[in-house]
Amino acid sequence: MSVSSSSVRLIAALSGTMLLASGLVHAQWQWVDDTGRKVFSDTPPPATVPDRNILRRPHARAQAASVPAPADASTEEGSRPTPAVTGRDEQLEARRRQAEEAEKAREQAEQARVAQIRQENCERATRARATLMSGVRVSTTNARGEVEIMDDRARAAEVQRLDRILAQDCGPLPQSQ
């Protein structure tokens, strides 16, 4: 038995039409029952369910999005209250606050570390400058490992370098921008 291409097209078109129509057959009702639970069914809700608790009706899918859940289900007898929607996520807010506090603590720790380094540099530079200004012979080691006595020109250059360090690290902390 041979199937022609027009028969295949006809079968495909009929299958597509049946598939689209099957959505109408499985029409769903959705409502909130007396206990506050959402109920899904292919039959209408009982007459005891108020109209405002019906969230979706068959053939009214657009209405389902526009009809909100009941604002206060506690007015009915035996129902439990629904939590109020505040538009805020408390856990998200708590995590955000915790992240901000951690960032502040990190910044404070970094500032304390920088202040400690500046204080140590200031103390070292102050001692080195006092040694140079005392007039005592000072020797250094060059790149080849040889000992050299510091002359007046080298001593003056080193004092200028130490003065820049003292001005930078011994004064108030510069303001970052």
What string of pLDDT tens digits covers the 177 residues of the chain? Answer: 566 777 778 787 777 777 665 555 565 888 898 888 988 888 888 888 888 888 888 875 544 444 555 555 444 555 566 655 556 788 888 999 999 999 999 999 999 999 999 999 999 999 999 998 888 888 888 899 999 998 889 899 999 999 999 988 887 766 655
Q: Where are the alpha helices (DSSP H) in the chain?
A: 5-25, 61-66, 90-133, 152-169
Q: Which CA distances in Å does 95 have to 58, 86, 101, 165?
A: 42, 17, 10, 42
Position 127 scores a pLDDT of: 92
Burial of 107 (0-12, 13-18, 19+ CB in 10 A): exposed
pLDDT in tens, 68-89: 555 554 445 555 666 555 567 8
Tokens of 47: 């007459």
- The rounded Cα 105 to chain-centroid distance in angstroms is 17
Q: Where are the alpha helices (DSSP H) in 28-89?
A: 61-66
Residues 6 or more apart from 33 whose CB is under 8 A from it?
39, 45, 49, 53
Position 74 scores a pLDDT of: 47
Position 68 scores a pLDDT of: 54
- The rounded Cα 8 to chain-centroid distance in angstroms is 54
Position 81 scores a pLDDT of: 62
Residues 6 or more apart from 43 whose CB is under 8 A from it?
29
State which H helix or E strand residue 29 sits in.
strand 29-32
Rounded distance, CA 99 to CA 123, Å? 36
